[in-house]
Structure 1
Amino acid sequence: MALTLGFLLLLGLCQNTVSEGPPSSTRGSDVPEFELPATNYETKDSYEPGPIGVLFQIVETFLHVLQPNAFPEDILRKIIQKKFDLSTDYEKIIRYEIGIIICAVLGLLFVILMPLVGFCFALCRCCNKCGGEMHQRQKKNGTFLRKYFAVSLLVICIFISIGIIYGFVANHHLRTQIENTRKLADSNFRDLRTLLNETPSQINYVLGQYTTTKEKAFSDLDNIKSLLGGGIHEQLRPKVIPVLDDIKAMAEAIKETKDALLNVNNTLRNLKRSTAQLNSSLSDIKTNLEQSLNDPLCSVPPVTATCNDIRMTLNQLDDNTNVDELPSLNKQLDNVNDVLRTDLSSLVQKGNKSFNDIPEMVQNQTTDMVSDIKSTLNSIGSAIKNINEQIAIQDKLSIFLDPINHVETYIHEKLPTLEEYDSYRWLASLVVCCLLTLIMIFYYLGLLCGIFGYDRHATPTRRGCISNTGGIFLMAGVGISFLFCWILMIIVVFTFVVGGNVEKLVCEPYQNKKLFQILDTPYLLNENWKHYLSGMVFNKPDINLTFEQVYSDCKENKGIYATLKLENRYNISEHLNIQEHTGNINSSFENMNVKIDNIVLLDAAGRKNLMDFSSSGVDQVDYDAFLAEIAKPPTKVNLLSFAEELERKANELPPGNLKRSLTSNAQTIRTVYHDQVMPLGQLMSYSCQFPPLTMVGPVLAWSQAMKRSSYRSIENLQNKSSGLGVKVVNIISSLDSAQDFITNHISSIIVQESTKYGNMILGYFERYLQWVKISITEQVAACKPMATALDSAVDIFLCSSIIKPMNLFWFGIGKATIFLLPAIIFAVKLAKYYRRMDSEDVYDDVETVPMKNVQKGHIGFHRHQTTQSL
């Protein structure tokens, strides 16, 4: 019934869901990840029999050895086509069934002969024949035979016991599986309902994901300023920003140059004024000293030597610098001031603003385009929603709920009857197993009592009660075996023929899909249709739609659309044509007209400003001359040291006008030093603290002190003005290059970025539509529950739950029944050694050989009669 239901549902969905589309597949993207929610089913897609599976494999191996012939496809095709003629095709059936036929015939012979043999054996025993005579002849190998018979019977009993265990296990497994049938059926029906109920919601989910995609696209369209405009801006940025930065740095350099020029010019003016005052003061001191040295005392030795020494140092009070010769920087300063009348920084900011306004310009120029694209996307959404209406899968699937409910009700009504019949079967099988178990109990008790109760010193007529009981048990087992073994064989033959054929003709070809291949034979089920399934579904029998392919696809959990090739009824690819839906959007981006042609990085005033600065003459000043003059000390000698030396020499002179005049001039020199030299040194930024005397020391101290403010100001100005013309030329060249790049390449950049931006927007929908197509064709309405229901009906219920345990049952019981034959023989032979005999062979004590009665030329033994109660 479940098999029928599975095919009904499969065919029904084919016919009625053809206008629908299934699906669900996802592609990774920058946008939302699309993934169809997983559907969980209860029924397992595979059956594991557990440890008993090993026994099933043994029986299957036995059947394969017994019937290794290939599946009779031709015969089955003839039967389906009603062309089978037993009179002409019987040889093929016999050839295929030869193994089962032989075993069945042997079983029937067993059934017929065993009662006859048992009847004859009983009559024979009653006539004191066939071992019925209660007399045991003594044999030299009697001990060996007794042990041989006992071991053989024990081994045979073990084999029989194994078969009985197989029977018990198979009987219990079959009963357990029948009890689980209701649970298995309910699980399959719930899975089928889940398939029918969730398929519409799956389609709605797939189509509903368009909203997520559209919202992402709308967000990017609203953000076109940063995405598209920003992209264009970033493409131009490496060319533009460095140039603007250089111009901005040059504007700052102009201001710094003006400050440096002003500082140096002021310093130079102060230096000239201070140097002139210092020279005037030194000249006056030098004149006073010369007048003092004209004193008559200088002609009197030894004063003459001192006066001469002083007179020789007077040239050290001359001017040491040529500051007056340094040119003024007023012209350069005026030129720079003229340059600064134009605010280059503001011009740079203006150009920068013009460049940074590109995203805003793009947004303003694409407002209408964005609006059109949004309208197009909304229309695409309406078209996609119409797919659900065209498919109308929910209405078509709902018609299968009634058949499912009907079949489920039918199964629930019949299951109690099945379980009742199975209880009878279970009881009958249990009786069979227990009957064999009873026989084995007699045999085991017979062996146990016989082996442990046997006394090898006792004569046959004097054997113990336990040993005798063992023999009686063995004969009881023999009697029950004769009474019932033929009945057991009837059961074995019947279950063997049925179970073996179902296993070979249904279960095995179902597992290797040969049954499907036979059903897929062209013109088999309908002589006018090449492919029956496609004829049923589409009324187009030429479409290659096979049962095997449908089952395999459902087994792999593929969607109904791909499984049943529903594109022959409703081609989802045509209705979800990506180019058709995205063509309008693509053309909108291709026709997008964004113009950016008013970007001026630096206007003519700015360029003239840079050129004026390069020709201001700042870079043509002889800064080395400035640095050389400033590096010189204002005096040739350290005035403090000179004053001290002058005062020392004056102190060596006798009191008088000369001494006072020299002392006064020394003091004047100190005053000049403190009042003029030190301020001048601070102005020129050198240290006024000369090292003590020596003529070299003051020069070194002065040179070291000159590495400060004024010196550094001039050096800084020199560095800024160095190569000024080249710098300006390079900046203007870079500016021209950037401006040319913007002018000549802005269009291609706009096209490039527009294409990239358009591809990004279109990519969302291409990925979505591709996912919709894959989802509807491959994942929605995945038909695994149908394949599982079919497997549950055939593979699990029929084969694994009924046929395999049935085969194991006849295999075990049959083996046990067949081994009863040698067990009867060995039990009868062995019972003679355990039972107490009525008579025995007697030996004379005086002779080593028994006494002989010669009768008709034969040698005999004396028979000693004993009365025994048996």
Structure 2
Amino acid sequence: MQASQPGGACSSGLALTLVIVLVLLDPVHSQKCAGTPPIILQFVEVGADLQVPALHRVPSNLDPLYSVVRHYLDVVQQNPFPTELLRRALNDPDSVRTSQVMRYEMGYIICAVIAVLFFFAMPVIGLCFCYWRRRQHCGGRIKAYRHSLICQRNFLMLGLLLTSIIILTSVTCAFITNQRVKEQMEPGIQVVPFTLRMLRQHIDDIPKGMNSVVEQFAVPKDQIIGDLNTVGWNIGLTIHSQLKDQVYSTLEALKGRAEDLQNSLHHLQILNKTIWTLTLYQGMLAPRLRDHKKSLVSLLDDPRCTSCGSLLETAKHLELGANYSKVPSGEHVLKTLHGLPKGNFPDMIYQANTTFNMIPDVAVEKMAMVVHDLQYEVVRVVEEVQALADNFSISNHTQLVANALARMENGSRPYLKEIKHYEKYRWIGGIALCSVVLIVVICNFLGLALGAYGLAVRDDPSDYESKGEAGATVLMVGVSLSFFFSWLLILLVFATFFIGGNVQTLVCKNWANQEIYKFMDTPGNLPPSMNITQQLGLNRRLNLTFTYQECKKGMGLWEILEHNDTYNLDDHLRLAKYTTEFEKLLSNFSTHFGEIHILNSVGRRDLETFARSGIDRINYPAFWAEMQNPIVKTSLEGLAVSLEGLQKLQKNSTVAGQLADESQALWQIQNSSVRTQEALVVQLNESVQFLSEIAAHLQERMRWTMAEIASVETTLPRQAHRILKQEISCFTKKEVGYFTQYLQWVRRTLTKEVASCQPFSTAMDNGRVILCDRIADPWNAFWFSLGACTFFLIPSILFAIKLTKYFRPIRNRLISTGSEETCPFHIPRVTSLKM
């Protein structure tokens, strides 16, 4: 009894140490939520089909031309936005003075003056040209040849060529931009009522979209219900998975100690029985060996025995080698272990294993009530979510906006129809006048080509050449067309310039920098009849600039309407409103799993008896030392063979017979007794080897096993409870995450799609893109290109008129008596020439 106390103290100390280590280093304490990544819920998009598609400026090869035109208009109109002038014009039109308008439009007035001068000057000059031409003072022939004429002619040809190329480039741009205006005008006109209709439809579909948003709560609800149906089993599996290594290791250790006890008892019984048998055999073998030793020594010492002296010394050692009566006895150990094991270790291990494997089922059972409450809570949250739509009474405040959009849509149709009608005439007029300019360019190129060819084939400057004459005539046709149509060109250029220029400088420029919104925001700038905030029912605390900017970012429509703050989306989308009770039910849930009993009192006493049985105190080295000795010191087989060899050498038959008898006796002892004892020694060796190995680690293994058993039985319920709380925390985060995903999707869908005011800011941006980027830019590029053609007609006319003389034959005015315009004959040169 005294020997058991130190072992028990060591076992208790080791168990306490192991428990402390497990508590301090318990991985469950610092465990993070593991497993698969959280599921990303997929919701059906709501209201996306009613969004106003955003239009953007499309890059074009004409962008450099557009940029030049805008810079030109900035030079023409350098005045800032006419805030004061517009305020007077809108509130009291009679107070607006013409001088104020002229001062603001001074750049356009200067351009108008230039256009008027061009309008009157070109026809007058054209009439004068016709008169001079009729009087033969313009466009005739050169009357005398000089060497400097070649340089003058080449300069005029180069000037006309470059001017014609510039006009051709400009008229090409005019054709392209004229067509671009036509292509953009019709879809731009059509998009106005379409956009207004889309905005009204967007407002009308808000209640339907809101209901669809609420219906999408079925997505997180189904996911949460599905998770609740499996949460108990999954948590139980997690507890089982995290603790199974420790529990299975303990059960395996217990199984090992039970097997050690069983096998040790078995080998102790073999050891005792083997030693008793060996001692018995040795007691019977010793007298026989002494008798044979005596007789054999006497025989080998007989003088008649030939050559027997060599075996005499061997025969003297014919005695027992090992003495197993001297080995320590294991009888006291067997007495201690007698009747063990009393406990049913396989049944204990099976029961503990079954109890541990039942943890998932126990978790399901213990969590059944809280799961039921959570499912009921999810159903209650559905009613809370429905309140999102029930309380969303935005339709009561959007009627003014819808009515205003309907009035704008109906009122815009006649104006848009008129714009489309007049645009058709503008396009036809632009095509016609561009075609005239193109004909003038063709006349210039054709006249240059014919004239140059005529000069190349004419050997004498005074010779008549039909190609050169035709070239001069074609140039004069181009000059006539330039004079005749230039007034129409300048009219179209100024009309389109005045309209397009003011649209760009007054509207587009100030629309892009939001000066127009700021003007509308300033109190007093607009008359009461044009109070947009009041007409649309907008929130009086917000100005148009702020509203436009915030709508562009995705503000909700209800935030810009005047509804006395009856609806607060932030309050309805508060996460705590939907998850507080859910989290509370989970956080309050607590349960303790039953204790797991691995080792009962009977089994514990069996192991403690085994530990203090003294099996580790047996003197195993004494067994090894004795088993190293042979059964007989002299090899009976070798001695018998040697005696048989001596027998053949003997001459005395009596001695030979005695040697044969002794040899036969030794063989009999070897085969009957020695071999049996050797087999017993082998068996003894196996048992001693097993017992010595068990004894070497018995106390250490027994202490560790008992400590592990104590640790599992003590800490497993606490660890299971800790894992349960951790898993419930992770489960709560995951389920609350589904609520969060839904509420974030609701906020994004309401503010970006269903009830967003972003379509209104998009519609305003689209209006600017259509009017300014897609219509005004090519419109202004058209008049700019056509204006370049118109003004470059002046140098074209001058170069063409001056150049026609060089394409006709040079005549001597002293000899010629015929008409200078009609004489095609050759006139000899003279040395004295004069123009």
Q: TM-score scaled by structure 2?
A: 0.82
Counterpart position of 1:598: 595
Residues 353-392 of structure 1 show CA distances to partners (whole Å, capped at 9, x for unaligned) of 4444444333333222221111111100121123223336
Counterpart position of 1:583: 580
Aligned-pair Cα RMSD in Å? 4.0
Q: 1:450-469 counterparts in 2 under 5 A?
A: 450-454=451-455, 458=460, 463-469=464-470
How far apart are the structure 2 equivalents of 1:154 and 1:307? 149
Q: 1:779 and 1:247, CA in 2 relative to 1: closer, same or farther beyond 3 A? A: farther
State the shift of 1:613 in Å.
1.0
Match of 2:110 among 93, 102, 116: 102
- Helix, strand or coil: the match of 1:616? coil
Counterpart position of 2:796: 823
Counterpart position of 2:741: 767
The reply on whether 1:220 has 2:227 as its aligned counterpart is: yes
- Paired residues of 1:31 and 1:213 also in contact (CA < 8 A): no
State the shift of 1:495 in Å.
1.5
State the shift of 1:340 in Å.
0.6
Q: Which amino acid in structure 1 is aligned with residue 715 of structure 2? A: F
Q: 1:83 and 1:595, CA in 2 relative to 1: closer, same or farther beyond 3 A? A: farther
Q: 1:320-469 counterparts in 2 under 5 A?
A: 320-391=321-392, 419-454=420-455, 458=460, 463-469=464-470
How far apart are the structure 2 equivalents of 1:422 and 1:498? 13
Q: Which amino acid in structure 2 is aligned with residue 272 of structure 1? A: T
The reply on whether 1:732 has 2:733 as its aligned counterpart is: no
Match of 1:608 among 605, 625, 634: 605
- Paired residues of 1:589 and 1:754 also in contact (CA < 8 A): yes
The reply on whether 1:804 has 2:777 as its aligned counterpart is: yes
Counterpart position of 2:805: 832
Q: 1:440 and 1:674, CA in 2 relative to 1: closer, same or farther beyond 3 A? A: closer
Q: Which amino acid in structure 2 is aligned with residue 142 of structure 1? A: L
The reply on whether 1:263 has 2:270 as its aligned counterpart is: yes
Q: 1:228-243 counterparts in 2 under 5 A?
A: 228-234=235-241, 236-237=243-244, 240-243=247-250
- Paired residues of 2:551 and 2:756 also in contact (CA < 8 A): no
The reply on whether 1:681 has 2:678 as its aligned counterpart is: yes
- Paired residues of 1:43 and 1:184 also in contact (CA < 8 A): no
Q: Which amino acid in structure 2 is aligned with residue 434 of structure 1? A: S
Counterpart position of 1:472: 473
State the shift of 1:677 in Å.
1.6
How far apart are the structure 2 equivalents of 1:229 and 1:337? 43
Counterpart position of 1:695: none
The reply on whether 1:176 has 2:175 as its aligned counterpart is: no
- Paired residues of 2:504 and 2:776 also in contact (CA < 8 A): yes
State the shift of 1:524 in Å.
4.4
How far apart are the structure 1 equivalents of 2:244 and 2:751? 47
State the shift of 1:502 in Å.
0.9
Q: 1:596 and 1:868, CA in 2 relative to 1: closer, same or farther beyond 3 A? A: closer
Q: Which amino acid in structure 2 is aligned with residue 865 of structure 1? A: T
Residues 272-330 of structure 1 show CA distances to partners (whole Å, capped at 9, x for unaligned) of 23333322432343355467679xxx3xxx43786776665443221211112334434
How far apart are the structure 1 equivalents of 2:431 and 2:87? 40
Residues 373-422 of structure 1 show CA distances to partners (whole Å, capped at 9, x for unaligned) of 11111100121123223336799989999988897788788777655543
Q: 1:193-342 counterparts in 2 under 5 A?
A: 203-234=210-241, 236-237=243-244, 240-289=247-296, 298=302, 302-303=303-304, 312-342=313-343
State the shift of 1:614 in Å.
0.3
- Paired residues of 2:540 and 2:562 also in contact (CA < 8 A): no
State the shift of 1:105 in Å.
1.1
Q: 1:49-64 counterparts in 2 under 5 A?
A: 50-64=60-74
State the shift of 1:256 in Å.
1.9
Q: Which amino acid in structure 1 is aligned with residue 172 of structure 2? A: I
How far apart are the structure 1 equivalents of 2:40 and 2:469? 90
Structure 2: 5+ residue runs without aligned partners?
1-35, 823-835
Paired residue total: 784
Q: 1:249 and 1:400, CA in 2 relative to 1: closer, same or farther beyond 3 A? A: farther
Match of 2:627 among 621, 625, 630: 630
Q: 1:733 and 1:288, CA in 2 relative to 1: closer, same or farther beyond 3 A? A: same
How far apart are the structure 2 equivalents of 1:132 and 1:595? 119
Counterpart position of 1:865: 817
How far apart are the structure 1 equivalents of 2:578 and 2:741? 13
Counterpart position of 1:33: 41
- Paired residues of 2:538 and 2:561 also in contact (CA < 8 A): no
The reply on whether 1:841 has 2:813 as its aligned counterpart is: yes
How far apart are the structure 2 equivalents of 1:414 and 1:69? 29
- Paired residues of 1:450 and 1:468 also in contact (CA < 8 A): yes
Q: 1:181-196 counterparts in 2 under 5 A?
A: 181=188
Q: 1:329 and 1:535, CA in 2 relative to 1: closer, same or farther beyond 3 A? A: farther
- Paired residues of 1:561 and 1:567 also in contact (CA < 8 A): no
How far apart are the structure 2 equivalents of 1:428 and 1:372? 80
How far apart are the structure 2 equivalents of 1:656 and 1:49? 136
How far apart are the structure 2 equivalents of 1:74 and 1:505? 14
The reply on whether 1:661 has 2:658 as its aligned counterpart is: yes
Residues 451-506 of structure 1 show CA distances to partners (whole Å, capped at 9, x for unaligned) of 3224766566x643443343333334333333332232122222111111111112
The reply on whether 1:113 has 2:87 as its aligned counterpart is: no
Q: TM-score scaled by structure 1?
A: 0.79
How far apart are the structure 2 equivalents of 1:85 and 1:406? 30
- Helix, strand or coil: the match of 2:55? coil
Counterpart position of 2:150: 143
Q: 1:208 and 1:629, CA in 2 relative to 1: closer, same or farther beyond 3 A? A: farther
How far apart are the structure 2 equivalents of 1:533 and 1:290? 144
- Paired residues of 2:52 and 2:763 also in contact (CA < 8 A): no
State the shift of 1:610 in Å.
1.7
Q: 1:497-512 counterparts in 2 under 5 A?
A: 497-512=498-513
Q: 1:693-712 counterparts in 2 under 5 A?
A: 709-712=683-686
- Helix, strand or coil: the match of 1:618? coil
Match of 1:776 among 737, 744, 750: 750
Counterpart position of 1:550: 548
- Helix, strand or coil: the match of 2:391? helix
Q: 1:714 and 1:586, CA in 2 relative to 1: closer, same or farther beyond 3 A? A: same
Q: Which amino acid in structure 1 is aligned with residue 42 of structure 2? A: F
- Helix, strand or coil: the match of 1:222? helix
Residues 816-842 of structure 1 show CA distances to partners (whole Å, capped at 9, x for unaligned) of 2222222333333233334468x7433
- Kindly, what percent of the aligned residue pairs are identical? 26
Match of 2:77 among 67, 72, 76: 67
- Helix, strand or coil: the match of 2:317? helix
- Paired residues of 2:333 and 2:614 also in contact (CA < 8 A): yes
Q: 1:188 and 1:260, CA in 2 relative to 1: closer, same or farther beyond 3 A? A: farther
Match of 2:172 among 165, 171, 176: 165
- Paired residues of 2:173 and 2:782 also in contact (CA < 8 A): yes
Q: 1:405 and 1:275, CA in 2 relative to 1: closer, same or farther beyond 3 A? A: farther
Structure 1: 5+ residue runs without aligned partners?
1-27, 686-708, 843-862
State the shift of 1:139 in Å.
5.2
- Paired residues of 2:305 and 2:655 also in contact (CA < 8 A): no
Q: 1:352 and 1:128, CA in 2 relative to 1: closer, same or farther beyond 3 A? A: closer
How far apart are the structure 2 equivalents of 1:777 and 1:171? 41
How far apart are the structure 1 equivalents of 2:198 and 2:319? 119
